[in-house]
Amino acid sequence: MRNFIKQTFASLVGTLLGLIIFGGLGTTGLLLLIFAASSKDTGPNVKDKSVLVFDLSMKITDSEPSSDELFQNTISGVDDERMALRKVVETLEKARRDPRIVGIYLDSTSASQAGNVGYASLKEIRKALEEFRASGKKIVAYGSDWSEKEYYLSSVADSIVLNPLGMMEVNGLSSQPMFLAGALQKYGIGVQVVRVGKFKGAVEPFILTKLSPENREQTQKLLDDVWGEWRTTVGASRKIEPNQLQAIADNQALLEATQAKTNGLVDRVAYPDEVVSDLKKLTNSDKDDKTFRQINLNSYAEVSGKSLGVERSSKNQIAVVYAEGEIVDGKGDAGQVGGDRFAKIFSKLRQDKDVKAVVLRINSPGGSATASEVMQREVKLTREAKPVVVSMGDVAASGGYWIASDSNRIFAEPNTITGSIGVFGVLFNGAKLANDNGITWDSVKTGTYADSQTVSRPKSPQELALYQRSVNRIYNMFLNKVSQGRKLPEQKVAEIAQGRVWSGVAAKEIGLVDEIGGLNSAIAYAVKEAKLGEDWEVQEYPRTSSFGERFFGRATEEARTALGIEAAQLKPSNPLTTEFQKLQQEVEILQKMNDPQGVYARLPFNLKID
């Protein structure tokens, strides 16, 4: 047995050493390549009369991926092609100014992942595309299967081309939440809720089998606002009246290529090679060339923008802090907004004399009320020292609004989802499930409420009253913070709160938002408030991975590839798989609920617009 262990250990060590040597050789070669490239500092080669290719299947997030995410994706083999929203917008602006770039090709031929980004983010990208086109440069869009999201961007193009076998979806927007109450009841899991706000629909999936009238009302209003903005924006680009687009949605919904052209939604029906021929003419490419002169968005993003006036260098910093994901107590993981971690970031920025203003970019449905309060306190203290401006992304609701309420100014897009000023708690118990399977509990205690945290039984009316009192206290605190931060009478805040969700345009009308605009608008306002003129630069937080971390990721990828580990292929989900994914997302949300008091300020769990 000892010999077996020795041999096994020796074999393991030998294998590890082999991998290290193998990785070292690959890493050495990679280092030499990087050193050679960096010594020339040329960056990607951009030829004259090139077209920038923007693949609309690319994943777009608010912030850059963290080092943990990069490492995990490398090890798992997931080809996570993604860019930060601000980098996308800056890259499009750089292309607008670059005389070598003559046009943009919006490619919608790949399996779409546009579902990962909301309409508020798409609005910012669309604005950058509009400015590019206004400069006199061409935009060509091509697709074979457009949904409303891809077409929302593609409709800005000079020329919109659809594959002869292609389809267009113009059937309006919908939200189809999943309700778990029946399943919980079937399997004997008890649910009790405490909440404030008649519109606070976050608890409804656990206690109802369909939308409450109040939740249906707010969801309908939100969808109407977002759909109205879609029809107005798309209609203006295509010179189609919004009511005509509504008629198409009500009467046709799915349009074949010829129908799309007849209705003025596309300019041409053609095959990919015909579009390539047109782009070869635009770029003056030789007829014998396989394709047109081009550079993709990711590569072009690495081109220096200093000579084009896009990149800035200054000691005066505008700090952009990305609060993206579920708000959780403690430090939180990648993709989460950890209250303690973000509070620490604000504390450092407040004391940093080089940071002249802070822009808090929020893309969060909320979460832990305790974590939201920890962050909000630091935001308030920072505002007393320097300007703090909020930019709301796709979602900045409930706890996401809590942390925004005490800023100098709040910016949102018309189709941002915000508000949801309400509080709730969900109390589960497994009494019936356990009893049906022969499991019982007994209790010995020294106080009436000593076992109130148990999941072995439902809460008594007296215990529920205690929880409700806690929820009421936090809700009143929430109202007071909004009232003071927004300088609104508490009575008015109480009327527009109630857990109700609003669109950005509606939120501006009722005073929850100051201005309609994106991240760049918020940065410009922060610069103005800090009186910096043109002498400033942006620094982003949490800080993204260092060169060493990215290099390690590349070296690991090299070893992984050499060992024959192939990347996982991401395939579009079928409708049934999509529903299972929604259920998985619901469970993941429950796992992230870690507020120490069990009280949450969060958007309705599965509010998704399709």
Q: Token pair for residue 246? A: 């509504």
Other beta carbons within 10 angstroms of residue 92's beta carbon come to 24
Torsion region of 287: left, alpha or beta (phi above 0 gives left; psi -120 to 50 gives alpha): alpha
Decide: 475 and 423 in contact? Cβ < 8 Å: yes
Tallying the residues shown for the chain, one arrives at: 610
Q: Dihedral of CA 573/578/583/588: which sign? A: positive
Please tell me the number of Cα atoms within 13 Å of 420 on its side-chain side: 35
Pairing outcome for strands 159-170 and 253-256: antiparallel
How far is it, in rounded angstroms, from Cα 207 to Cα 210? 9
Q: How many helices and strands, by DSSP H and E, does the chain display?
A: 22, 23
Structure-block tokens of residue 59:
């994943």
Q: Could you tell me the maximum CA-CA distance found in the chain, to the nearest angstrom? A: 88
| Dist. CA 510–CA 497, nearest whole Å | 11
The values of phi and psi at residue 252, to 5°, are: -120, -45
Q: How far apart are CA 214 and CA 203, in angstroms?
A: 13
In angstroms, the CA 15 to CA 191 distance is: 52
Distance separating alpha carbons of residues 81 and 303, to the nearest angstrom: 18
Query: In this structure, is the dihedral angle defined by the CA atoms of residues 178, 180, 183 and 187, taken in order, positive or negative?
Result: positive
Question: 544: burial class by Cβ within 10 Å (0-12, 13-18, 19+)?
Answer: middle
In Å, how far from its chain's centre is CA 317? 25
Q: Which candidate, 40, 51, 29, 598, places its Cα nearest to that of 329?
A: 598
Strand 388-397 and strand 355-364: the pairing is parallel
Closest CA to 526 of 317, 313, 352: 317
The contacts of residue 467 (CB under 8 Å, 6+ apart) are 194, 425, 427, 459, 598
Catalytic residue among 50, 144, 154, 398: 398
Q: What is the DSSP string of 444-463?
A: --SSTTTTTT-SSSPPPHHH
Query: CA torsion, points 148, 150, 153, 156, in degrees to nearest 10?
Result: -80
Residue 221, exposed/middle/buried by CB under 10 A (0-12, 13-18, 19+)?
middle
What values do phi and psi take at 366, rounded to 5?
A: 100, -160
State the Cα–Cα distance between residues 375 and 420, nearest whole angstrom: 18
Residue 398 known to be catalytic: yes
Q: Please check whether residue 335 is in contact with residue 322, taking contact to mean a CB–CB distance below 8 angstroms.
A: no
DSSP 255-267: EEHHHHHHTTS-S
Radius of gyration for the alpha carbons in the chain, expressed in angstroms and rounded: 27
At residue 119, the 3 state secondary structure works out as helix
Which of 94, 127, 200, 386 is flagged as catalytic? 200
- For the annotated catalytic residues, the residue numbers are 200, 398
